[in-house]
Amino acid sequence: MKQNSSPLTATIANMQSISTQISEGKGTIGKLIYDDALYSSALTTVSNLQSTSDEIKLTIADARKVIDDVNAGQGTIGKLLKDEALYTEATASVTYLKDSMANLKE
């Protein structure tokens, strides 16, 4: 029993020291508990992170909608990607323009 009392006494002394430092507002935990400015700053930071997270969620939702629309063949890009006839016509037009430009250079 005597062998265990020394480490136990040291542990209790350490816990008392930590508790005293916290109650004096020292260290991170003590400052968070007793420093109103730091506490307010932490709350503001958490609030800003939540707002940023909400904005990211909205941006991701918007991006998913755009991708879904493109995959459904909606909009100019969607039609170019999904409508084979329109793609072929656009490719032919670009080829015609390239050939016309080459002829003008000659």
Residues of the chain where predicted confidence (pLDDT) is lower than 70: 1-4
Q: Tell me what pLDDT residue 2 has.
A: 56
| Structure letter (DSSP) for residue 35 | -
pLDDT at 53: 98
Cα–Cα distance measured from residue 42 to residue 106, given in angstroms and rounded to the nearest whole number: 70
Instruction: Round to whole Å and give the CA distance between 80 and 83.
Output: 6
Question: What is the pLDDT, as a whole number, of residue 92?
Answer: 93
- Look at residue 38 in the predicted model and tell me its pLDDT: 83
Tell me the C-alpha distance between 87 and 98, whole Å: 17
pTM of the predicted structure, to 2 decimals: 0.52
